[in-house]
Structure 1
């Protein structure tokens, strides 16, 4: 959970979660969660649509793939 303080983001909180799934594992998400695949997250990053916190979290789980 991250909190941005100040300006238009005053008291704004974001929740980011990474889940590694086993093949055919089923996931139940709360209605306020959105699912994104690895490739979808990469596309969101390229289009600058993720917060810096979400990008950092994603990068920390992919550090071994950075060239």
Structure 2
């Protein structure tokens, strides 16, 4: 038996727009803080989707 590599068929998750990217320069610090906190949650959710996609691709290699 010889392992034959195949391309992963899992779609890459779409990167969400991050709240801090939409801020205008010079916004008050509390607005920046609020956007930064929201961004943490959004990034964590995106990372979960990326890890799931990677795990799915790795599963095909076994």
Q: TM-score range by the shorter chain?
A: under 0.3
Relative to its length, the structure with more helix (as a share) is 2
What TM-score comes out, normalization by structure 1 length? 0.25
Relative to its length, the structure with more strand (as a share) is 1
Higher-Rg structure is 2
Structure with more contact order per residue of length (Cα contacts < 8 Å, sep ≥ 6): 2
